[in-house]
Amino acid sequence: MRQGATGLQHEQPTKTRTIAERLAEFACEVNVGDAPESVVERVKACLVHATIVGAAGIDAPYGMAAERAMGPGGRELRAGQSRSLVTGDYHSPHVAAFINASLFHARAQEDTHGTFHPGITVIPAALAAAESKMCDGMTFMDAVLAGYEVGTVLSARLTERTTPPFRATAVFGAIAASAAVGRIFQLSAEQMASAIAIATASSGGTSESFGAGTDEWRFQPAKAAMNGFMAASLAAEGVRGSATAFEAHAGFLECFAGVDAEDLLTDLGRVWNVLGVTFKPFPVCAFNQAPSLLAVRMRSEGLRAEHVESITLRMNKREATYPGMPAEGPFQTVAQTLMSARFAFATALVEGDITLASLSRFDIPEVMGMVGKIKLVAERGQLPKTATATAHLTDGSVLKDGIDDSDSLLSWTLPQVVANGERLRTEANLSADQYHRLVQSIMDLEAATNVRDVVSAAISGQRIDSRQEISDSSQ
Protein backbone atom coordinates (compact mmCIF):
# COMPACT_ATOMS: atom_id res chain seq x y z
CA MET A 1 0.00 0.00 0.00
CA ARG A 2 1.02 3.63 -0.44
CA GLN A 3 0.04 6.91 1.27
CA GLY A 4 -1.85 9.14 -1.18
CA ALA A 5 -3.35 12.62 -1.06
CA THR A 6 -6.68 11.27 0.10
CA GLY A 7 -5.36 8.75 2.58
CA LEU A 8 -4.49 5.08 2.22
CA GLN A 9 -4.90 3.67 -1.28
CA HIS A 10 -4.56 0.04 -2.33
CA GLU A 11 -2.12 -0.81 -5.07
CA GLN A 12 -4.00 -1.88 -8.17
CA PRO A 13 -3.35 -5.57 -8.72
CA THR A 14 -1.18 -6.36 -11.71
CA LYS A 15 -3.26 -7.77 -14.51
CA THR A 16 -2.37 -11.36 -15.20
CA ARG A 17 -1.34 -11.71 -18.80
CA THR A 18 -3.01 -14.44 -20.80
CA ILE A 19 -1.19 -17.01 -22.88
CA ALA A 20 -1.90 -15.11 -26.10
CA GLU A 21 -0.63 -11.89 -24.57
CA ARG A 22 2.57 -13.50 -23.29
CA LEU A 23 3.25 -15.15 -26.64
CA ALA A 24 2.59 -11.85 -28.39
CA GLU A 25 4.94 -9.88 -26.18
CA PHE A 26 7.69 -12.42 -26.83
CA ALA A 27 7.08 -12.48 -30.59
CA CYS A 28 7.28 -8.68 -30.77
CA GLU A 29 10.52 -8.47 -28.81
CA VAL A 30 12.70 -11.49 -29.68
CA ASN A 31 15.73 -10.64 -31.81
CA VAL A 32 18.20 -12.89 -33.56
CA GLY A 33 20.88 -10.30 -32.80
CA ASP A 34 20.41 -10.89 -29.07
CA ALA A 35 20.39 -14.67 -29.34
CA PRO A 36 23.41 -16.98 -28.94
CA GLU A 37 25.33 -17.79 -32.12
CA SER A 38 24.06 -21.37 -31.92
CA VAL A 39 20.50 -20.05 -32.31
CA VAL A 40 21.46 -17.88 -35.30
CA GLU A 41 23.10 -20.89 -36.94
CA ARG A 42 20.06 -23.08 -36.27
CA VAL A 43 17.73 -20.51 -37.87
CA LYS A 44 19.95 -20.50 -40.96
CA ALA A 45 20.08 -24.30 -40.91
CA CYS A 46 16.29 -24.43 -40.88
CA LEU A 47 16.16 -22.03 -43.83
CA VAL A 48 18.70 -24.03 -45.84
CA HIS A 49 16.94 -27.31 -45.11
CA ALA A 50 13.47 -26.01 -45.96
CA THR A 51 14.49 -24.40 -49.23
CA ILE A 52 16.57 -27.30 -50.57
CA VAL A 53 13.97 -29.88 -49.55
CA GLY A 54 11.36 -27.72 -51.24
CA ALA A 55 13.49 -27.47 -54.37
CA ALA A 56 13.96 -31.25 -54.35
CA GLY A 57 10.19 -31.67 -54.12
CA ILE A 58 9.61 -30.04 -57.50
CA ASP A 59 8.98 -33.37 -59.24
CA ALA A 60 6.28 -34.33 -56.77
CA PRO A 61 2.92 -32.98 -57.99
CA TYR A 62 1.77 -31.18 -54.86
CA GLY A 63 3.36 -27.76 -55.28
CA MET A 64 2.03 -27.51 -58.83
CA ALA A 65 -1.39 -28.77 -57.75
CA ALA A 66 -1.51 -26.08 -55.08
CA GLU A 67 -0.62 -23.38 -57.59
CA ARG A 68 -3.21 -24.54 -60.08
CA ALA A 69 -5.85 -24.76 -57.37
CA MET A 70 -5.14 -21.21 -56.22
CA GLY A 71 -5.39 -19.78 -59.73
CA PRO A 72 -2.89 -18.32 -62.17
CA GLY A 73 -0.35 -15.77 -61.07
CA GLY A 74 1.37 -13.05 -63.01
CA ARG A 75 4.79 -12.85 -64.59
CA GLU A 76 5.34 -9.23 -63.67
CA LEU A 77 5.72 -7.90 -60.14
CA ARG A 78 2.93 -5.81 -58.75
CA ALA A 79 3.20 -4.02 -55.41
CA GLY A 80 2.75 -6.25 -52.38
CA GLN A 81 3.04 -9.57 -54.22
CA SER A 82 5.24 -12.59 -53.57
CA ARG A 83 6.64 -15.31 -55.77
CA SER A 84 5.76 -18.95 -56.09
CA LEU A 85 8.85 -21.13 -55.74
CA VAL A 86 7.16 -23.63 -58.07
CA THR A 87 6.94 -21.40 -61.13
CA GLY A 88 8.39 -18.03 -60.22
CA ASP A 89 5.02 -16.37 -60.85
CA TYR A 90 3.73 -13.57 -58.60
CA HIS A 91 0.69 -14.04 -56.37
CA SER A 92 -0.98 -12.39 -53.42
CA PRO A 93 1.32 -13.22 -50.51
CA HIS A 94 -1.15 -15.44 -48.64
CA VAL A 95 -1.51 -17.47 -51.84
CA ALA A 96 2.27 -17.67 -52.25
CA ALA A 97 2.50 -18.90 -48.65
CA PHE A 98 0.03 -21.70 -49.45
CA ILE A 99 1.81 -22.71 -52.65
CA ASN A 100 5.30 -22.67 -51.16
CA ALA A 101 4.26 -24.54 -48.02
CA SER A 102 2.80 -27.24 -50.29
CA LEU A 103 6.12 -27.42 -52.12
CA PHE A 104 8.18 -27.52 -48.90
CA HIS A 105 6.04 -30.45 -47.72
CA ALA A 106 6.01 -32.31 -51.05
CA ARG A 107 8.76 -34.75 -49.98
CA ALA A 108 7.66 -35.02 -46.34
CA GLN A 109 11.31 -34.37 -45.44
CA GLU A 110 10.88 -31.19 -43.41
CA ASP A 111 12.35 -30.30 -40.03
CA THR A 112 10.73 -31.64 -36.88
CA HIS A 113 10.15 -30.65 -33.26
CA GLY A 114 8.47 -33.50 -31.45
CA THR A 115 5.70 -34.27 -33.96
CA PHE A 116 5.38 -30.65 -35.14
CA HIS A 117 7.02 -29.50 -38.38
CA PRO A 118 7.54 -25.75 -37.84
CA GLY A 119 9.55 -25.01 -40.98
CA ILE A 120 6.80 -25.81 -43.48
CA THR A 121 4.40 -23.31 -41.93
CA VAL A 122 6.65 -20.58 -40.52
CA ILE A 123 9.14 -20.19 -43.37
CA PRO A 124 6.70 -20.04 -46.33
CA ALA A 125 4.48 -17.56 -44.48
CA ALA A 126 7.41 -15.40 -43.34
CA LEU A 127 9.09 -15.51 -46.76
CA ALA A 128 5.90 -14.42 -48.53
CA ALA A 129 5.35 -11.62 -46.02
CA ALA A 130 8.99 -10.48 -46.19
CA GLU A 131 9.02 -10.36 -49.97
CA SER A 132 5.70 -8.52 -50.16
CA LYS A 133 6.87 -5.92 -47.61
CA MET A 134 10.46 -5.77 -48.93
CA CYS A 135 11.72 -6.09 -45.36
CA ASP A 136 15.41 -6.60 -44.60
CA GLY A 137 17.08 -9.90 -43.90
CA MET A 138 17.44 -9.39 -40.15
CA THR A 139 13.74 -8.68 -39.74
CA PHE A 140 12.98 -11.82 -41.71
CA MET A 141 15.24 -13.87 -39.46
CA ASP A 142 13.66 -12.31 -36.35
CA ALA A 143 10.26 -13.33 -37.70
CA VAL A 144 11.36 -16.90 -38.39
CA LEU A 145 12.79 -17.20 -34.89
CA ALA A 146 9.60 -15.77 -33.37
CA GLY A 147 7.45 -18.23 -35.29
CA TYR A 148 9.57 -21.24 -34.37
CA GLU A 149 9.70 -20.34 -30.69
CA VAL A 150 5.98 -19.56 -30.38
CA GLY A 151 5.01 -22.78 -32.15
CA THR A 152 7.49 -25.06 -30.42
CA VAL A 153 6.89 -23.78 -26.89
CA LEU A 154 3.32 -25.01 -27.37
CA SER A 155 4.15 -28.24 -29.16
CA ALA A 156 6.83 -29.19 -26.64
CA ARG A 157 4.20 -29.49 -23.90
CA LEU A 158 1.13 -30.47 -25.90
CA THR A 159 2.14 -32.55 -28.90
CA GLU A 160 1.73 -35.94 -27.24
CA ARG A 161 -1.74 -34.93 -26.04
CA THR A 162 -2.90 -33.82 -29.47
CA THR A 163 -1.33 -36.30 -31.88
CA PRO A 164 -3.22 -38.42 -32.84
CA PRO A 165 -6.14 -37.95 -33.54
CA PHE A 166 -5.13 -34.42 -34.57
CA ARG A 167 -2.02 -33.66 -36.57
CA ALA A 168 0.45 -31.49 -34.69
CA THR A 169 1.44 -29.29 -37.63
CA ALA A 170 -2.20 -28.50 -38.33
CA VAL A 171 -2.78 -27.70 -34.64
CA PHE A 172 0.25 -25.47 -33.97
CA GLY A 173 1.23 -24.30 -37.45
CA ALA A 174 -1.18 -21.40 -37.92
CA ILE A 175 -0.25 -19.95 -34.53
CA ALA A 176 3.46 -20.14 -35.33
CA ALA A 177 2.93 -18.61 -38.77
CA SER A 178 0.82 -15.77 -37.36
CA ALA A 179 3.63 -14.79 -34.99
CA ALA A 180 6.18 -14.78 -37.82
CA VAL A 181 4.03 -12.74 -40.19
CA GLY A 182 2.94 -10.42 -37.39
CA ARG A 183 6.57 -9.65 -36.66
CA ILE A 184 7.20 -8.69 -40.29
CA PHE A 185 4.06 -6.55 -40.26
CA GLN A 186 5.43 -4.83 -37.12
CA LEU A 187 2.25 -5.46 -35.16
CA SER A 188 1.93 -3.99 -31.70
CA ALA A 189 1.78 -6.42 -28.79
CA GLU A 190 -1.99 -5.98 -28.67
CA GLN A 191 -2.35 -6.63 -32.38
CA MET A 192 -0.01 -9.61 -32.17
CA ALA A 193 -2.12 -11.13 -29.40
CA SER A 194 -5.14 -10.77 -31.65
CA ALA A 195 -3.29 -12.37 -34.56
CA ILE A 196 -2.33 -15.35 -32.41
CA ALA A 197 -5.85 -15.62 -31.05
CA ILE A 198 -7.38 -15.48 -34.54
CA ALA A 199 -4.98 -18.22 -35.62
CA THR A 200 -6.07 -20.49 -32.76
CA ALA A 201 -9.62 -20.28 -34.06
CA SER A 202 -8.56 -21.89 -37.36
CA SER A 203 -6.27 -24.53 -35.88
CA GLY A 204 -6.78 -28.25 -36.30
CA GLY A 205 -6.62 -31.10 -38.76
CA THR A 206 -7.07 -34.85 -38.42
CA SER A 207 -4.54 -37.57 -39.13
CA GLU A 208 -6.99 -40.00 -40.68
CA SER A 209 -5.68 -39.53 -44.22
CA PHE A 210 -2.37 -41.11 -43.21
CA GLY A 211 -4.18 -44.37 -42.57
CA ALA A 212 -6.18 -44.03 -45.77
CA GLY A 213 -3.10 -43.27 -47.87
CA THR A 214 -4.79 -40.21 -49.38
CA ASP A 215 -3.53 -36.66 -49.87
CA GLU A 216 -5.37 -34.37 -47.44
CA TRP A 217 -2.41 -34.23 -45.05
CA ARG A 218 -0.13 -32.85 -47.73
CA PHE A 219 -1.98 -29.52 -47.72
CA GLN A 220 -2.64 -29.14 -44.00
CA PRO A 221 0.62 -27.21 -43.38
CA ALA A 222 -0.13 -25.01 -46.39
CA LYS A 223 -3.55 -24.18 -44.98
CA ALA A 224 -1.93 -23.44 -41.62
CA ALA A 225 0.64 -21.13 -43.24
CA MET A 226 -2.10 -19.29 -45.11
CA ASN A 227 -4.35 -19.11 -42.04
CA GLY A 228 -1.50 -17.70 -39.98
CA PHE A 229 -0.81 -15.11 -42.66
CA MET A 230 -4.45 -14.10 -42.78
CA ALA A 231 -4.68 -13.95 -38.99
CA ALA A 232 -1.83 -11.42 -38.88
CA SER A 233 -3.33 -9.50 -41.80
CA LEU A 234 -6.70 -9.25 -40.08
CA ALA A 235 -5.11 -8.14 -36.82
CA ALA A 236 -3.23 -5.44 -38.73
CA GLU A 237 -6.62 -4.17 -39.93
CA GLY A 238 -7.94 -3.91 -36.39
CA VAL A 239 -9.77 -7.23 -36.11
CA ARG A 240 -9.76 -8.34 -32.48
CA GLY A 241 -9.08 -11.81 -31.18
CA SER A 242 -9.92 -13.25 -27.78
CA ALA A 243 -7.27 -12.54 -25.16
CA THR A 244 -8.22 -15.83 -23.52
CA ALA A 245 -8.17 -17.85 -26.73
CA PHE A 246 -6.10 -20.59 -25.09
CA GLU A 247 -7.31 -20.92 -21.52
CA ALA A 248 -11.01 -20.06 -21.74
CA HIS A 249 -13.80 -22.62 -21.71
CA ALA A 250 -13.99 -24.00 -25.28
CA GLY A 251 -10.59 -22.45 -25.98
CA PHE A 252 -7.57 -23.98 -27.67
CA LEU A 253 -6.38 -26.03 -24.70
CA GLU A 254 -9.75 -27.57 -23.96
CA CYS A 255 -10.34 -28.37 -27.62
CA PHE A 256 -7.01 -29.99 -28.41
CA ALA A 257 -5.15 -30.99 -25.27
CA GLY A 258 -7.57 -31.35 -22.38
CA VAL A 259 -5.17 -29.57 -20.01
CA ASP A 260 -5.12 -26.28 -18.17
CA ALA A 261 -2.63 -23.47 -18.75
CA GLU A 262 -0.39 -24.12 -15.78
CA ASP A 263 3.31 -23.98 -16.66
CA LEU A 264 2.61 -24.04 -20.39
CA LEU A 265 4.98 -21.17 -21.14
CA THR A 266 7.62 -21.87 -18.52
CA ASP A 267 10.36 -22.19 -21.16
CA LEU A 268 9.35 -19.19 -23.27
CA GLY A 269 12.32 -16.83 -23.48
CA ARG A 270 14.36 -19.11 -21.21
CA VAL A 271 14.98 -22.13 -23.42
CA TRP A 272 15.64 -21.83 -27.16
CA ASN A 273 13.38 -24.56 -28.49
CA VAL A 274 14.68 -24.01 -32.03
CA LEU A 275 17.84 -25.82 -30.87
CA GLY A 276 15.64 -28.90 -30.37
CA VAL A 277 14.59 -28.94 -34.03
CA THR A 278 15.88 -31.96 -35.95
CA PHE A 279 16.25 -32.65 -39.66
CA LYS A 280 15.12 -35.61 -41.74
CA PRO A 281 17.66 -37.47 -43.87
CA PHE A 282 14.89 -39.52 -45.50
CA PRO A 283 11.59 -38.48 -47.18
CA VAL A 284 9.42 -40.48 -44.78
CA CYS A 285 7.41 -39.79 -41.64
CA ALA A 286 9.32 -38.40 -38.66
CA PHE A 287 8.44 -41.56 -36.76
CA ASN A 288 10.18 -43.62 -39.47
CA GLN A 289 13.53 -41.84 -39.25
CA ALA A 290 14.75 -44.05 -36.38
CA PRO A 291 13.89 -47.40 -38.03
CA SER A 292 15.31 -46.14 -41.35
CA LEU A 293 18.56 -45.05 -39.70
CA LEU A 294 18.71 -48.41 -37.96
CA ALA A 295 18.22 -50.39 -41.19
CA VAL A 296 20.91 -48.37 -43.00
CA ARG A 297 23.33 -48.97 -40.14
CA MET A 298 22.60 -52.71 -39.97
CA ARG A 299 23.17 -52.94 -43.73
CA SER A 300 26.46 -51.04 -43.43
CA GLU A 301 27.53 -53.60 -40.84
CA GLY A 302 26.89 -56.50 -43.22
CA LEU A 303 23.24 -57.49 -42.85
CA ARG A 304 21.56 -58.37 -46.15
CA ALA A 305 17.87 -58.90 -46.78
CA GLU A 306 18.43 -62.31 -48.40
CA HIS A 307 19.95 -63.60 -45.15
CA VAL A 308 16.94 -62.59 -43.03
CA GLU A 309 14.43 -65.16 -41.88
CA SER A 310 12.42 -62.66 -39.81
CA ILE A 311 12.79 -59.33 -38.04
CA THR A 312 11.05 -58.04 -34.95
CA LEU A 313 10.95 -54.23 -35.05
CA ARG A 314 10.06 -52.57 -31.77
CA MET A 315 8.92 -48.94 -31.59
CA ASN A 316 7.21 -46.54 -29.23
CA LYS A 317 3.56 -47.53 -28.89
CA ARG A 318 2.07 -44.20 -29.98
CA GLU A 319 4.34 -44.06 -33.02
CA ALA A 320 3.91 -47.70 -34.04
CA THR A 321 0.12 -47.36 -33.94
CA TYR A 322 -0.11 -43.91 -35.54
CA PRO A 323 -2.34 -43.98 -38.65
CA GLY A 324 -0.43 -45.54 -41.55
CA MET A 325 2.55 -46.75 -39.51
CA PRO A 326 1.41 -50.42 -39.14
CA ALA A 327 0.64 -50.80 -42.87
CA GLU A 328 1.86 -54.07 -44.42
CA GLY A 329 0.72 -53.48 -48.00
CA PRO A 330 -0.09 -53.99 -50.73
CA PHE A 331 0.84 -50.37 -51.35
CA GLN A 332 -0.61 -48.16 -54.06
CA THR A 333 0.48 -44.64 -53.10
CA VAL A 334 3.58 -42.86 -51.78
CA ALA A 335 1.39 -41.60 -48.95
CA GLN A 336 1.17 -45.22 -47.81
CA THR A 337 4.82 -46.17 -48.22
CA LEU A 338 6.30 -43.12 -46.49
CA MET A 339 4.11 -43.81 -43.46
CA SER A 340 4.68 -47.56 -43.22
CA ALA A 341 7.38 -48.49 -40.70
CA ARG A 342 7.81 -51.86 -42.39
CA PHE A 343 8.27 -50.37 -45.86
CA ALA A 344 10.74 -47.77 -44.60
CA PHE A 345 12.84 -50.35 -42.78
CA ALA A 346 12.71 -52.81 -45.68
CA THR A 347 13.66 -50.20 -48.30
CA ALA A 348 16.55 -48.88 -46.21
CA LEU A 349 17.84 -52.38 -45.60
CA VAL A 350 17.55 -53.50 -49.24
CA GLU A 351 18.76 -50.29 -50.91
CA GLY A 352 20.90 -48.67 -48.22
CA ASP A 353 18.94 -45.42 -48.58
CA ILE A 354 15.41 -44.10 -49.10
CA THR A 355 14.77 -41.73 -51.98
CA LEU A 356 11.54 -40.20 -53.18
CA ALA A 357 11.71 -42.51 -56.22
CA SER A 358 12.09 -45.63 -54.07
CA LEU A 359 8.85 -44.80 -52.26
CA SER A 360 6.90 -45.14 -55.50
CA ARG A 361 8.23 -48.60 -56.33
CA PHE A 362 5.41 -50.59 -54.82
CA ASP A 363 6.19 -54.05 -56.17
CA ILE A 364 9.95 -54.62 -55.91
CA PRO A 365 10.07 -58.31 -54.87
CA GLU A 366 13.05 -57.97 -52.55
CA VAL A 367 11.54 -54.98 -50.70
CA MET A 368 8.04 -56.46 -50.45
CA GLY A 369 9.49 -59.81 -49.41
CA MET A 370 11.33 -58.03 -46.62
CA VAL A 371 8.15 -56.17 -45.62
CA GLY A 372 6.45 -59.52 -45.11
CA LYS A 373 9.21 -60.71 -42.79
CA ILE A 374 8.90 -57.78 -40.37
CA LYS A 375 6.84 -58.03 -37.20
CA LEU A 376 6.12 -54.54 -35.85
CA VAL A 377 5.72 -54.40 -32.07
CA ALA A 378 4.17 -51.38 -30.35
CA GLU A 379 6.31 -51.41 -27.23
CA ARG A 380 4.70 -49.92 -24.16
CA GLY A 381 7.28 -47.83 -22.31
CA GLN A 382 9.72 -47.51 -25.21
CA LEU A 383 10.88 -43.94 -25.69
CA PRO A 384 9.70 -41.90 -28.70
CA LYS A 385 11.99 -41.63 -31.75
CA THR A 386 13.69 -44.95 -30.98
CA ALA A 387 13.73 -48.34 -32.68
CA THR A 388 15.09 -51.79 -31.89
CA ALA A 389 15.43 -54.62 -34.40
CA THR A 390 16.05 -58.29 -33.72
CA ALA A 391 16.96 -60.16 -36.90
CA HIS A 392 16.74 -63.95 -37.07
CA LEU A 393 18.96 -65.11 -39.93
CA THR A 394 18.71 -68.13 -42.20
CA ASP A 395 21.88 -69.61 -40.68
CA GLY A 396 20.23 -69.65 -37.25
CA SER A 397 22.13 -66.68 -35.84
CA VAL A 398 20.49 -63.61 -34.30
CA LEU A 399 21.47 -59.96 -34.67
CA LYS A 400 20.13 -57.18 -32.48
CA ASP A 401 20.66 -53.43 -32.81
CA GLY A 402 18.87 -50.26 -31.78
CA ILE A 403 18.64 -46.51 -32.16
CA ASP A 404 18.27 -45.15 -28.64
CA ASP A 405 18.03 -41.44 -29.42
CA SER A 406 17.44 -40.43 -33.04
CA ASP A 407 16.95 -36.79 -32.06
CA SER A 408 20.61 -36.47 -31.07
CA LEU A 409 21.66 -38.08 -34.37
CA LEU A 410 19.47 -35.70 -36.38
CA SER A 411 20.20 -32.47 -34.50
CA TRP A 412 22.49 -31.37 -37.30
CA THR A 413 24.85 -28.44 -37.32
CA LEU A 414 24.64 -25.87 -40.10
CA PRO A 415 27.51 -27.54 -42.04
CA GLN A 416 25.73 -30.89 -41.74
CA VAL A 417 22.51 -29.40 -43.10
CA VAL A 418 24.44 -27.87 -45.99
CA ALA A 419 26.10 -31.23 -46.67
CA ASN A 420 22.72 -32.97 -46.69
CA GLY A 421 21.57 -30.36 -49.21
CA GLU A 422 24.37 -31.50 -51.48
CA ARG A 423 22.77 -34.94 -51.44
CA LEU A 424 19.48 -33.43 -52.55
CA ARG A 425 20.52 -30.81 -55.08
CA THR A 426 20.49 -33.20 -58.04
CA GLU A 427 16.87 -34.09 -57.23
CA ALA A 428 16.29 -30.34 -57.05
CA ASN A 429 17.73 -29.83 -60.54
CA LEU A 430 20.21 -27.34 -59.08
CA SER A 431 23.79 -27.12 -60.26
CA ALA A 432 26.58 -26.84 -57.71
CA ASP A 433 26.77 -23.11 -58.45
CA GLN A 434 23.02 -22.66 -58.02
CA TYR A 435 23.05 -24.49 -54.70
CA HIS A 436 26.02 -22.44 -53.52
CA ARG A 437 24.12 -19.27 -54.41
CA LEU A 438 21.10 -20.46 -52.43
CA VAL A 439 23.19 -21.26 -49.36
CA GLN A 440 25.14 -18.01 -49.62
CA SER A 441 21.97 -15.92 -49.87
CA ILE A 442 20.89 -17.37 -46.51
CA MET A 443 24.32 -16.91 -44.94
CA ASP A 444 24.25 -13.23 -45.97
CA LEU A 445 20.80 -12.45 -44.57
CA GLU A 446 22.06 -10.24 -41.72
CA ALA A 447 23.34 -7.72 -44.25
CA ALA A 448 20.60 -8.16 -46.87
CA THR A 449 18.25 -5.25 -47.57
CA ASN A 450 15.53 -7.70 -48.65
CA VAL A 451 14.91 -11.42 -49.20
CA ARG A 452 14.80 -11.30 -52.99
CA ASP A 453 18.15 -13.12 -53.35
CA VAL A 454 16.86 -16.04 -51.26
CA VAL A 455 13.65 -16.29 -53.28
CA SER A 456 15.43 -16.01 -56.63
CA ALA A 457 18.03 -18.61 -55.66
CA ALA A 458 15.31 -21.04 -54.61
CA ILE A 459 13.69 -20.89 -58.06
CA SER A 460 15.54 -23.03 -60.59
CA GLY A 461 15.44 -22.51 -64.35
CA GLN A 462 13.17 -25.55 -64.65
CA ARG A 463 10.52 -23.92 -62.49
CA ILE A 464 10.61 -20.66 -64.39
CA ASP A 465 10.16 -22.56 -67.64
CA SER A 466 7.19 -24.45 -66.19
CA ARG A 467 5.14 -21.27 -65.75
CA GLN A 468 3.68 -21.70 -69.20
CA GLU A 469 2.18 -25.03 -68.14
CA ILE A 470 0.11 -23.28 -65.47
CA SER A 471 -0.85 -20.51 -67.87
CA ASP A 472 -1.97 -23.05 -70.48
CA SER A 473 -3.90 -25.15 -67.99
CA SER A 474 -5.95 -22.17 -66.87
CA GLN A 475 -7.37 -21.43 -70.34
- Residue 472: per-residue pLDDT: 32
Nearest CA-CA partner of 208 in 335, 116, 305:
335
Instruction: Say if residue 106 is in the same domain as residue 224.
Output: yes
- Residue 191 lies inside a defined structural domain of this protein: yes
How confident is residue 473, by pLDDT bands cut at 50, 70 and 90? Answer: very low
Instruction: Say if residue 322 is in the same domain as residue 383.
Output: yes
The residue type of 33 is: G
Last residue of a domain, one of 382, 409, 436: 409
Instruction: Say if residue 177 is in the same domain as residue 58.
Output: yes
pLDDT tens-place string over residues 456-472: 999 964 454 444 333 33
- Residue 426 lies inside a defined structural domain of this protein: no
Percentage of the chain beyond pLDDT 90 is 83
Instruction: Say if residue 232 is in the same domain as residue 322.
Output: no
Last residue of a domain, one of 244, 276, 308: 276
- Residue 398 lies inside a defined structural domain of this protein: yes
Instruction: Say if residue 119 is in the same domain as residue 161.
Output: yes
- Computed over every residue of the chain, the mean pLDDT equals 91
- Residue 4: per-residue pLDDT: 36
Q: What are the angstrom distances between the C-alpha of 22 and each of 26, 103, 116, 141?
A: 6, 32, 21, 21
How confident is residue 116, by pLDDT bands cut at 50, 70 and 90? Answer: very high
pLDDT tens-place string over residues 407-422: 899 999 999 999 999 9
Counting the structural domains of the chain, the total is: 2
Instruction: Say if residue 200 is in the same domain as residue 308.
Output: no
Instruction: Say if residue 55 is in the same domain as residue 161.
Output: yes
- Residue 309 lies inside a defined structural domain of this protein: yes
How confident is residue 324, by pLDDT bands cut at 50, 70 and 90? Answer: very high
Instruction: Say if residue 213 is in the same domain as residue 152.
Output: yes
- Residue 262: per-residue pLDDT: 74
- Residue 15: per-residue pLDDT: 66
- Residue 14 lies inside a defined structural domain of this protein: no
- Residue 136 lies inside a defined structural domain of this protein: yes
Instruction: Say if residue 193 is in the same domain as residue 262.
Output: yes
- Residue 475 lies inside a defined structural domain of this protein: no
Over range 194-222, report the average pLDDT. Answer: 94
Q: Domain range holding 337?
A: 286-409
Instruction: Say if residue 271 is in the same domain as residue 199.
Output: yes
Instruction: Say if residue 231 is in the same domain as residue 269.
Output: yes
How confident is residue 18, by pLDDT bands cut at 50, 70 and 90? Answer: very high
CATH number for position 172: 1.10.4100.10
pLDDT tens-place string over residues 148-174: 999 999 999 898 888 889 999 999 999
pLDDT tens-place string over residues 260-291: 777 889 999 899 999 999 999 999 999 999 99
Say if residues 243 and 196 touch (Cβ distance below 8 Å).
Answer: no
Over range 439-443, report the average pLDDT. Answer: 97
Last residue of a domain, one of 409, 429, 456: 409
Instruction: Say if residue 27 is in the same domain as residue 79.
Output: yes
Over range 97-113, report the average pLDDT. Answer: 96
Centroid of chain to Cα 240: 28
- Residue 150 lies inside a defined structural domain of this protein: yes
Residue 6, pLDDT > 90, answer no
Residue 282 φ/ψ, nearest 5 degrees: -125, 150
- Residue 460: per-residue pLDDT: 60
CATH number for position 305: 3.30.1330.120
- Residue 1: per-residue pLDDT: 29
